[in-house]
């Protein structure tokens, strides 16, 4: 079962069970997928859908941060619930140790590096993690490794 089928199946289950929160998040996700397909004029692959899910997860995390600063506990709670639903469709995230090994490997392949190579190293490291590591974690580890 591909990712799109899983999302649709979970949407049907949430409709049957009457879970309005899950239903709302999955409908929004389905809408984003359909908009992507209309824009690209092609069927969304699992990688495309994963990218859409990642963008939605990032939006939720940013909103949680902003609502926390604004002392809006009610909205933080709502965003956290939506985030939990979306994270079910994300691949399992790598540990910091695994990311560090990948970053060190990329730096070794690079040879002589300087802080000005930061962007290139992050780009290559993110490609190597294949979406299984948060970009902020990769960035933090690259900074640490370059400052050694």
Could you tell me where in the chain the CATH 1.10.10.410 domains are found?
A: 96-146
Non-local (6+) Cβ contacts of 49 within 8 A are 3, 4, 7, 33, 89
The Cα–Cα gap between 2 and 15 comes to 20
Q: Which CATH class for the 96-146 domain?
A: mainly alpha
Q: Which single residue is written with the structure tokens 């050694």?
A: 148
The Cα–Cα gap between 42 and 51 comes to 15
Please tell me the predicted confidence (pLDDT) of residue 145.
Answer: 85
Please tell me the predicted confidence (pLDDT) of residue 17.
Answer: 96
> What are the per-10-residue average pLDDT scores of the chain (148 residues)?
92 95 96 96 92 93 95 95 93 87 88 82 85 83 84
Q: Using CB atoms within 10 Å of the CB of residue 112, give its burial: 0 to 12 exposed, 13 to 18 middle, 19+ buried.
A: exposed
Please tell me the predicted confidence (pLDDT) of residue 133.
Answer: 84
What CATH superfamily is the domain 3-87?
Answer: Uncharacterised protein YqeY/AIM41, N-terminal domain (1.10.1510.10)
Please tell me the predicted confidence (pLDDT) of residue 115.
Answer: 79
Please tell me the predicted confidence (pLDDT) of residue 131.
Answer: 73
Could you tell me where in the chain the CATH 1.10.1510.10 domains are found?
A: 3-87
């Amino acid at each position: 079962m591909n990712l799109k089928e899983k999302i649709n199946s979970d949407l049907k289950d949430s409709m049957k069970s009457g879970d309005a929160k899950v239903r709302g998040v999955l409908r929004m996700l389905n809408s984003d997928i359909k908009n992507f397909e209309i824009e690209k004029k092609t069927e969304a692959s699992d990688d495309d859908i994963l990218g859409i899910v990642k963008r939605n997860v990032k939006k939720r995390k940013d909103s949680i941060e902003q609502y926390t600063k604004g002392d809006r506990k009610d909205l933080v709670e709502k965003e956290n619930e939506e985030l939990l639903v979306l994270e079910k469709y994300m691949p399992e995230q790598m540990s910091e140790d695994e990311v560090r090994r990948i970053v060190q490997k990329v730096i070794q392949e690079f040879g002589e590096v300087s802080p000005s190579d930061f962007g290139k190293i992050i780009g290559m490291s993110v490609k190597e993690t294949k979406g299984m590591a948060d970009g902020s974690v990769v960035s933090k580890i690259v900074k640490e490794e370059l400052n050694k």
